[in-house]
Structure 1
Amino acid sequence: MKNLVKIGFLSLLGLSLLSSSNQLKAAESSVDLSKAKQMCANATPQQRQMAKAAGYDLDSLCAQLNANGNTLTEDSTAEKVTQLPERRSRADDKNSMLTEERTNPLAFFTPEQIAAMTPDQLAKVLEQLEEEPVVEEEELKPFGYELFAGEPESYQPNLNAPIPANYVIGPGDIFEIQLFGKSSQNLSLQVDRNGQVAFPDLGPITVAGLNFDEARQLLKSRVKQQIIGMEASITLGELRSIQVFVLGEAYRPGAYTISSVSTMTNALFVSGGISDIGSLRNIQLKRQGKLVTTLDLYDLLLRGDTSNDARLLPGDVIYVPPVGDTVAVDGAVKRPAIYELRNESTIKEVIQIAGGLAPTAFKNEAQIKRIDDSGFMTSLQVNQPQKSSVKVKAGDHLRVQQRVEVARGVVKLTGHVLRPKQMAWQPNMRVSDLVYSLDALKALPQLKSALLIRETLPLRTLEIEVVQLDRALQMKGSAFDKILNPQDELLVLGFTEERSEQLQPLIERLEKQASAGNSAQVVSVSGLVRFPGVYPLAKEMNVHQLIELAGGLAESAYSLNSEVTRISLKDPEHTQVEHHFIDLMAGNHQFKLQSRDVLNVRQRPEYREFATIEVKGEVKFPGIYRIKKGETLRDLMKRVGGFTDFAHVEATLFTRAELKEREEKQLQQLRQKLKSDIANSQLEQSNVGKSANLNSLEQLSENLDTTEALGRLVIDMKSVLSGKSEDVILKDGDSLIVPAFRQEVSVVGEVQYPTSHLFDPYLTFEEYIERSGGETDKADDERIYIVKADGSVVLPYRSGWVNAIGTDIEPGDTIVVPLDVNATNDLALWSQVSQIIYQLALGAAAITRL
């Protein structure tokens, strides 16, 4: 159904392209344009994307439909999205091919072709869209720029490192000098702006322009020559700062003050790094207008080489030119990225800077997408890319394909096995070579019906055969031990629920193979088999094999009369349904099955599982009893041995599962109704005097929420056993509870002190109420009722059993004084709720007392 909607949607798009009225009339015969508005309103984002891929603006089309009703005219044709050949300007977009383009199946068809497609053709396009979703790939990024993603402070030079011997001394540097010998002295001497240090007893000494090693030797020799008996240990203390310029395509170009031991990379980090359009491979160091050296950061990133990372002098200029020629390397390489070219000119060299091929790469072939001299996109195939001397051009996109994860020349063992495996196929290899023993299988394997899944060339469609695995292992080399072909898969099923998951991929693939004139090779089995469902149609499969594949017949199966329903498509005008009756005990269980056959195994007539009833309380043999169909309560009482001497027969409680379910539904409806009435009453309250009624109702609602359904069936046990009342036919899930004799009479409801009283045959119900303190102000004395011990309800003033002495109250009875609904805003539902709560509570109490 989902595909039909999409087909109609695409057809609607195609119709929008027809420019003449004759074309439109012809098209309206195949698509109902009256549904166009509804389809526009319900268009999903995926459908809008398909419309755009076809070259049309769906919003414009739908706007025209809404304006013109159900008729499309030449003016209502959807606005066409500009669709030009894939052309790139080398001047404006020389390196634009940075990410691989996604392929949309609709993009290969013109709008006119879509309009002319049959529903089957459109369905195939939709199937490709749904079955092969495009995997979102991360966009390729230029290589190396993440080096500058950190904070600049993290890349300051290490000032605690030893001073290099070639460090050039300049104004601001401080010498730390320790004199020792006949006396000792520590000196800190700063180089002044004249490049000299004022050494005590030695006078000014010029050191600027010397490297550190030369300056140290000069000072040590002067001390030794001019101060007799003294020697010096000399190092540099605080270093001076220098100013350099970072210009060009730096992230933040400008002048920066840095340490005098800083290098080119230190300065780049301080300036924030290199912008997205700056070069990493041709960073220039200029001094007094002359090029001193160039820095290739790829040496640092790829090889850890810092030999060209020159130390800076005051006034140096670091110039970052725009990025040079680039190529994108994608796919199965170790480091996919966009790389800047310098000395690399061949495919082999480009793959080397990308880290080489990944282990999963298809090494025999790669693809280059390139903008040719005319500005059009072209594609080149490269053999053996890791060795290729093919020249690369600026803007090339090199993609190395992944190795196809399809094993060839193997056979597989899957399903209900301890260790799924695949083995190299050998000539004359058999099933017993793949499954060497039953020890390779999990517990409860289905030995009579393993599935041999075989691919047939050239389309690699599946063909299924049934293998009797037990016989194949018992009679190795026989016809049961089938010879395997390359790519065969043996699927072993088990008598477990996981079999449906194991079969599902196989069923889906068989369904996808279906086409006009070639139905899906699947069959179904329903009814009384162990595992009903859809199964693959094996070669020459019969009813008996399908039943074995489904786990065999269930215990209650009727083997004398099963049915195969078959759909015949021989008549192109009509679909015929045939029914074939199969006697599984006779020879026709070898009935050959066809595609889409449905086997229904019926249940044995009048078969049913054992029903049970639970008997509790004062009977001689309580317990759980199995009952047969039609068994009655009298029959049951004979089996349980009758009542004990302490049984309160009149108070027998009989419950039924289906009544409990019905009561629970009624309780739920009552809860919702009561809460709704309470909410309405809260809105109607206009004064504080009525708030007490709401409090009572809310308490009643809480009591109802905690009340559980009982499912009681009121019976007169003595009348049933004596034959005066109709016997009760027992059902599965029934429960019989016989409580011990009770001597009390309970008074509940709107009385001052609800409690139980010792039974007195001479007291009336009014006197029992008086013994509970009398009625409250909210009591309804005209609607008092009595719940008898057997669960029946009697109204004392209407029942006719009131004698001259008083009301006939018996042990176990409960007198209920209900709420006066007139005193609570005439909400009659409240009285109904309170009555239900009392009755269910009494029944539950009888169960609890056991």
Structure 2
Amino acid sequence: VVFIPAVGPQVAIKGQIKRPAYYELKGSGSVSDLLSYSGGMLASAYPQGATLERVNEQNEREFLNLDLSLNADINRTLKNGDQITLPKILPKVENVIKVAGHVERAETRRWTPGLRVSDIIQSIEYLKPEPDLNYALIKRYSKPERTLSVHSFRIADALKSQQSEADPVLQDLDELVFFGLYGDRSEEVVKLVEELRQQASISTPSKEVSVGGNVRYPGVYPLVENMTVENLLSAAGGLTEKAYLSSAELNRTTINEQQDRVQDRRVIQLSDASAISSKLQARDVLTVKAIPEWAETKQITLRGEVKFPGVYPFHKNDTLADVIERAGGLTEYAYAPGAMFTREDLKAQQAQQLREMQARLEADIAKAEVVAANQTTLDASKAQGLGEAQGLLDKLKTTPALGRLVIDLEKVIAGQDAYSISLKDGDELFIPERKSSVTVIGEVQLPVSQLFEQELDYWDYIERSGGLTDKADDERIYIIKANGGVQMPDSSSWFASNDSQLAPGDTVVVPLDADKIDQVVLWRDMSQIFYQIALGAAAVGSL
């Protein structure tokens, strides 16, 4: 016979314990016995914050605080129904220093009283290459309210004068933040400023200052204790080469007792030691101007048939004719009417126009396809029209923006006032060799380049290319001159002047007749613009 009696007095333990459970007491057990039954406390347990839940003699539930590091509490006798709870230690870390920013290894170090910056950063080898030795920060949280304050120091001075005022004494939970000399420092600084702004109030403005203009890193920086204009310039990485030392502006905004906004502006001479040692206030804004008439080095590229091709820097008042003269002028093989002058801002403008044309044509093709999909039968010519439109779109997607500016180089070199071309950075002039051909492209049977003959007109060249296709628009044929200009040969005075005659390097363009393909209403405009840009690029390639 196996007899299992009823359970005796029970106690429970939970929380940071190895085997939390209900346990049966044998006799008069203590807290120490219960810990032994349950395998002991975990390393994360906080014994000083243990609690005992008990039902007293009045049948009321009560809670007792226990400190299990004391003999009196750990040897306390337990009663039936008691429950012990062991809490977890707080996640915060005490007695540490953090190091972050432009360092080889971000880490957490132990803090001890009297610890200084030089004890943590014993040499610049601890930092990444090219550190900023004139500006570093200490993030400090005061106890018990944990209010953020920011302090700055120079790591170069801290290492040079160790155990001095230049080598700050660190406090528990301080964080050292270092910066690179040439890297972006905004990520760390922005976080600091945002935290400072959260602490601001009506009576306490946000502890921040701003610097703009000709410094390496313009932006908003924490206002540290006794911060001067010089300190702010160091925080911003110093002045750039074009900074104007004679006149910087310091703007200050304050709120008076009547809560009126009061603004003050004064001029600071950055070369004056006493001026840059003036202290800053919250929300001050420093603006560093540029040297008058300062300009970055600007360049133009000359290629092709000039005596000394290459990249030439130019001054503000230089013209295209001046640079050509510096390059020794044109060679004897140069073909001035075919010169191609390109400019970066025009290229960006043309690229935007091409993107807009592409979007419009894509939308129009999509509409046409929807209409075609709703038709039971699709006419062969309409199907062909959709194919033509898609082909045009595919070509448009691969058409580069040239950024070409049409010029008459012969008049430029001659020095005519109306043809004095000022220069912009990135301009490029290409002068091809003398050509003896005329090119026919577009809706002809065989687009080809042909030998130039003085007595032939544009129609003769079209006939020599096999004539027009059935999709050609014979009323809108135009000529792209070698210099990039466009002329229409549809008037009786086409050959009335020498300027209108065909010349070597010219291109005859036969555009698509959009009226014959009615699926896309915008094709006429599209095709005309497309041939002028895309086929114009082909014309340039023939030079």
The TM-score with structure 2 as length reference comes to 0.85
Cα drift, residue 376 of structure 1: 9.1
Match of 2:200 among 514, 527, 533: 514
How many Å separate the matches in 2 of 1:664 and 1:748?
Answer: 23
Match of 1:558 in 2: 244
Match of 1:447 in 2: 133
Check 1:626–1:416 CA distance in 2 against 1; reply closer, same or farther (3 A cut): same
Q: Secondary structure at the match of 2:303?
A: strand
How many Å separate the matches in 2 of 1:528 and 1:613?
Answer: 26
Larger radius of gyration: 1
Match of 1:706 among 398, 418, 428: 398
Check 1:498–1:746 CA distance in 2 against 1; reply closer, same or farther (3 A cut): closer
Q: Which runs of 5+ in 1 are unaligned?
A: 1-289, 295-320
Q: Which amino acid aligns with 2:68?
A: Q
Q: Secondary structure at the match of 2:362?
A: helix
1:253-290 Cα distance to aligned partner (Å, 9 max, x none): xxxxxxxxxxxxxxxxxxxxxxxxxxxxxxxxxxxxx5
Cα drift, residue 511 of structure 1: 3.1
Match of 1:757 in 2: 450
Q: Which runs of 5+ in 2 are unaligned?
A: none
Cα drift, residue 653 of structure 1: 0.8
Q: Which amino acid aligns with 1:776?
A: T
Check 1:704–1:498 CA distance in 2 against 1; reply closer, same or farther (3 A cut): closer
Match of 1:607 in 2: 294
Determine whether 1:801 maps to 2:510: no
Check 1:373–1:483 CA distance in 2 against 1; reply closer, same or farther (3 A cut): same
Match of 1:339 in 2: 21
How many Å separate the matches in 2 of 1:351 and 1:504?
Answer: 50
Cα drift, residue 443 of structure 1: 2.2
Cα drift, residue 682 of structure 1: 3.4
Q: Which amino acid aligns with 2:466?
A: G
Q: Which moved more, 1:726-735 or 1:441-450?
A: 441-450
Q: Which amino acid aligns with 2:456?
A: L
Match of 2:42 in 1: 358
- Contact (CA 8 Å) 1:366, 1:385: kept in 2 or not? no
Determine whether 1:593 maps to 2:287: no
Match of 1:309 in 2: none
- Contact (CA 8 Å) 1:366, 1:401: kept in 2 or not? no
1:560-605 Cα distance to aligned partner (Å, 9 max, x none): 2222222212234323333233221223222211122222222222
Determine whether 1:832 maps to 2:489: no
Match of 1:688 among 364, 368, 379: 379
Match of 1:65 in 2: none
- Contact (CA 8 Å) 1:369, 1:377: kept in 2 or not? yes
Check 1:584–1:771 CA distance in 2 against 1; reply closer, same or farther (3 A cut): same
Q: Secondary structure at the match of 1:466?
A: strand
Check 1:504–1:698 CA distance in 2 against 1; reply closer, same or farther (3 A cut): closer
> Superposition pairs for residues 605-754 of structure 1, below 5 Å?
605-685=292-372, 687-689=378-380, 690-724=382-416, 725-754=418-447
How many Å separate the matches in 2 of 1:569 and 1:372?
Answer: 62
Match of 2:124 among 438, 455, 468: 438
How many Å separate the matches in 2 of 1:726 and 1:369?
Answer: 99
1:387-436 Cα distance to aligned partner (Å, 9 max, x none): 8355487595724222443223x555554344555344344x54444433
Check 1:417–1:373 CA distance in 2 against 1; reply closer, same or farther (3 A cut): farther
> Superposition pairs for residues 221-370 of structure 1, below 5 Å?
290-291=1-2, 327=12, 329-330=14-15, 332-333=16-17, 339-343=21-25, 348=32, 355-367=39-51
How many Å separate the matches in 1 of 2:55 and 2:503?
Answer: 105
Q: Which amino acid aligns with 1:747?
A: V
Determine whether 1:792 maps to 2:479: no
Q: Which amino acid aligns with 1:643?
A: L
Q: Which amino acid aligns with 2:94?
A: A
Cα drift, residue 702 of structure 1: 1.4
Q: Secondary structure at the match of 2:131?
A: coil
- Contact (CA 8 Å) 2:505, 2:542: kept in 1 or not? no
- Contact (CA 8 Å) 1:365, 1:385: kept in 2 or not? no
Check 1:676–1:372 CA distance in 2 against 1; reply closer, same or farther (3 A cut): farther
Cα drift, residue 491 of structure 1: 3.6
1:422-464 Cα distance to aligned partner (Å, 9 max, x none): 344344x544444333333332222233334445455343444
Cα drift, residue 371 of structure 1: 8.6
How many Å separate the matches in 2 of 1:460 and 1:683?
Answer: 66
How many Å separate the matches in 2 of 1:762 and 1:377?
Answer: 119
CA RMSD between the two structures: 3.5
How many Å separate the matches in 2 of 1:392 and 1:795?
Answer: 111
How many Å separate the matches in 2 of 1:719 and 1:738?
Answer: 15
> Superposition pairs for residues 14-413 of structure 1, below 5 Å?
290-291=1-2, 327=12, 329-330=14-15, 332-333=16-17, 339-343=21-25, 348=32, 355-367=39-51, 380-384=64-68, 388-389=74-75, 391=78, 396=83, 398-408=85-95
How many Å separate the matches in 2 of 1:828 and 1:520?
Answer: 60
Match of 1:157 in 2: none
Check 1:489–1:676 CA distance in 2 against 1; reply closer, same or farther (3 A cut): closer
Cα drift, residue 784 of structure 1: 1.0
1:187-234 Cα distance to aligned partner (Å, 9 max, x none): xxxxxxxxxxxxxxxxxxxxxxxxxxxxxxxxxxxxxxxxxxxxxxxx
Q: Secondary structure at the match of 1:422?
A: strand
Check 1:613–1:371 CA distance in 2 against 1; reply closer, same or farther (3 A cut): farther
- Contact (CA 8 Å) 1:524, 1:598: kept in 2 or not? yes
Cα drift, residue 842 of structure 1: 4.6
Q: Secondary structure at the match of 1:447?
A: strand
The percent of aligned pairs where both chains have the same amino acid is 37
How many Å separate the matches in 1 of 2:352 and 2:269?
Answer: 44
Cα drift, residue 629 of structure 1: 1.8
Check 1:355–1:769 CA distance in 2 against 1; reply closer, same or farther (3 A cut): farther
Q: Which amino acid aligns with 1:688?
A: D
Match of 1:532 in 2: 218
1:775-817 Cα distance to aligned partner (Å, 9 max, x none): 1112121111111111111111238332599x82211111111
- Contact (CA 8 Å) 2:11, 2:22: kept in 1 or not? yes
Cα drift, residue 381 of structure 1: 2.9
1:741-777 Cα distance to aligned partner (Å, 9 max, x none): 2222111111112211111111111111111111111
Work out the number of aligned pairs and report it: 528
Match of 2:507 among 795, 814, 828: 814
How many Å separate the matches in 1 of 2:488 and 2:213?
Answer: 53
- 4+ runs of 1 displaced by more than 6 Å? 369-378
- Contact (CA 8 Å) 1:347, 1:392: kept in 2 or not? no
- Contact (CA 8 Å) 2:137, 2:152: kept in 1 or not? yes
How many Å separate the matches in 1 of 2:54 and 2:398?
Answer: 76
Check 1:737–1:839 CA distance in 2 against 1; reply closer, same or farther (3 A cut): farther
Structure showing greater relative contact order (alpha-carbon pairs closer than 8 Å, 6 or more residues apart): 2
Check 1:424–1:704 CA distance in 2 against 1; reply closer, same or farther (3 A cut): closer
Cα drift, residue 683 of structure 1: 4.2
